[in-house]
Structure 1
Amino acid sequence: MAEKRKIKPGLKMALDFGPLLVFFLAFVKLKGHTFTILGTDYSGFVVATAIFVPVLVASMAVLWALTGHLAPMQIATLILVVVFGGLSIWFNDPRFFKTKPTLIYLIFAGLLGFGLARGKPWLQLVMEDAIPMRHEGWMILTKRLTVLFLGLAVANEVIWRNFSDQTWVNFKTFGLTILMFGFFMAQAPLFQRYALPKEGEEPPET
């Protein structure tokens, strides 16, 4: 197994969120325009998608080269972006790319829910280095995150089916990111309550 190496937080954030920002800027620049390529007309949305996919692949490749590691969620996201982004480009249909977040969140919710049914909070395997907690805490966090993923899947379907492309792009770029950050910030009491005791300390009362 490749050794996991740490990189500067700013660089990691740029690699994680940079491709999404590129997609947003490309869409804003290209929306409303039609591009004829090899005799086929493509909307600005599809062209922005065609820009986003290789940028994300390159970003994840750099992240893997620097750290020797990609999280399971990053790998799943990368695969689905390539598949559904590719389908949108191949069939010249933005709907494939718009449904990608729905599928991602349903997969995550399903995996976490399956683990919960077996009494195994699989989220702990991914995040235990960043958030050291007792088993009980991981079970609660996993249940809450499963519900959040289901809610985000529903929200994505509602927005892309009923609102403009710009609204959906804003939601994908900023809304989903803000909701995820807000969710984890709101879990601070849970992290504190179930934190693993430091050496020589007694566990906190529950």
Structure 2
Amino acid sequence: MSKIRKFAVGAAVAVSSIAIAAGPAAASPSTVWTVGPGSPQAFNAVSSSTKLELNGILLTCTNSTASGTLSSKTGNPAAVGNISDVAFNNCTTPFGPLTVTPVKPWSLNAVDYNAGVTQGNVGNVTAKLAVLACTFDVVGKASGNYSNATGKLTVDSVVGDLTVQNSVNCGAIAKNGDKPSFDSVYDVTIPGGGKPTIVGSNPPA
């Protein structure tokens, strides 16, 4: 199996960054989302523990960053924020360095809330990946969770969230339709220090 063909397995996942999701669901889905300490609220996120996987091959990035704006919203799902900038830095595979170019912006969609944890996904995910002569796109969403108590955004996508498209020179390893996964933990802060909060509620009609 060639380097290029093996590589794509690890590369295909390098896409996603920020997610709101996972955690126990509330009895009734939230329809009102309140962002604090202000709305709109700028945020920054940094991760030093990014793991990407496709077909059992790992890809790692030593640093991943994201920034954007959170806003109070109504609805379910609700686009409580947008990620205006996201980057994956110093990414490697067993077959050589990987370049990840996100196509921005991505959306931050809230679905449910319970005990300080917001559920949902990062939508509009699109990233272009390249290693050696192999290039492909990863598109879709990424599941995860955000905790108000810790200020940590945990990306923990499930198989089927993300899909490989536009594969070129990657052989059978990174085929169109393959399903990569992405895991990372981001420390989220606001300008001046502190952590943003997201609170979901379902007020009576």
TM-score w.r.t. length of structure 1 = 0.26
Higher fraction of strand: 2
TM-score w.r.t. length of structure 2 = 0.26
Higher fraction of helix: 1
Q: Which has the higher contact order (CA 8 A, sep 6+)?
A: 2
Rg larger in structure: 1
